[in-house]
Amino acid sequence: MNTIKGPAIFIAQFIQDQAPFNSLESICKWAKGLGYEGVQLPTTDSRFIDLQKAAESKTYADEIKGVVQEAGLQITELSTHLQGQLVAVHPAYDTLFDGFAPEAYRNNPKARQEWAVQQLKYAAKASQNLGLSASVTFSGSLLWPYVYPWPQRPAGLVEAGFKELGDRWLPILNEYQNCGVDLCYEIHAGEDLHDGISYEMFLDQVNQHPSACLLYDPSHFILQSLDYLEHIDIYHERIKMFHVKDAEFNPSGRQGVYGGYQGWVNRAGRFRSLGDGQVDFKAVFSKLTQYDFKGWAVLEWECALKHPEDGAREGAPFIKDHIIRVTERAFDDFAASGIDESKNRNVLGLS
């Protein structure tokens, strides 16, 4: 078995224009001061990493890695959530998702998609240059407006949507495979890959691609009432990344999974700071350790109530306390009899 690495922190939710959250150097020093050992980097803000440059220049990638290491941290993975979302966008969401792309690609879905695909390919090479083994993204969605089968979905609609999704992602996955990097899809509401079944449907379209892996985040399963522990049992061979994020789901006679169009504070399902929600993290860490998860435990802080800096401060010791240092020997070794093979055969009555 393997001891999970961490604690680490995804810095996307903390980036601001004010110090220490406005540069890679200063935010890394801040994270180290809280007890973190790694940082997961978003890739849409050039103050923290120039993705194209990191893909095209090993020297620049080494410089970025050096800044992080100088603060006493490691880069855990790169995130392309926003770019991945733009690989597949239903027209109903064009205006809203335009904000994820540079201004030059807005109001032009084809150009925006081409930019996003190139960004994903840059991230594969940048990850390789940085010596990373995994990266996280969203799948995007062509079918989300039809997630509920009313009006009745036309025959073949879902199949056509997943075929197109697979066609768009297969060349990207091949690029990641060539770079020796796993591309981990975060299973998430709003994405065509939003649960295990939809992930399996996607795998069928990309020929069970070995690089099409998973980021495990139990908070999204709490909000779906999905068994987040059995999910590990089923998909542990594909789980290569881990977001440590909490959530709660408190349905009532007025509101359930769909949330009644309410904002995050007033939804039955909402994200919470670590320890304030309903995820059984002792069980989660135990299962991942049991299955020899070799990656990082990365805080992704999102909470409808708590201040982010408090969530970050509390997150490092929370994760550290849940990481299981694996044993090097069995607990009952003290009672071992040291019987050899011949004696074993004798005990079984075979000699």
Which CATH number is 91's domain given?
Answer: 3.20.20.150
How many domains are contained in the chain? 1
* Amino acid code (one letter) for 296: W
Q: Is the pLDDT score of 332 beyond 70?
A: no
User: pLDDT by residue (tens digit) across 242-286?
Assistant: 999 999 999 999 999 999 999 999 999 999 999 999 999 999 999
**Can you give the pLDDT at residue 347?**
81
Share of the chain above pLDDT 90, in %: 93
C-alpha distance from residue 343 to each of 112, 340, 350 (Å)? 70, 5, 10
**Can you give the pLDDT at residue 230?**
98
Count CA atoms closer than 13 A to 191's CA, side-chain side.
24
Residue 340, domain extent: 5-347
**Can you give the pLDDT at residue 331?**
66
Burial label for 73, CB within 10 Å (0-12, 13-18, 19+), is buried
How many whole angstroms separate alpha carbon 121 and alpha carbon 36?
29
CB 166 within 8 A of CB 208: no
Least confident of 51-60, 108-117, 338-347: 338-347
Average pLDDT over residues 176-204: 98
C-alpha distance from residue 257 to each of 170, 242, 245 (Å)? 32, 24, 18
Reading the block at residue 194, the tokens are 């939003």
**What φ, ψ does residue 343 adopt, rounded to 5°?**
-70, -35
Closest among 85, 184, 87 to 135, alpha carbons compared: 184
**Can you give the pLDDT at residue 333?**
66
Contacts of 91-95 spanning 24+ positions with Cβ under 8 A = 92/145, 93/141, 93/144
Q: What is the value of pTM for the model shown?
A: 0.95
- Helical segments of 81-235, H only: 81-85, 94-97, 109-130, 157-179, 196-205, 218-222, 228-235
**What φ, ψ does residue 244 adopt, rounded to 5°?**
-90, 100
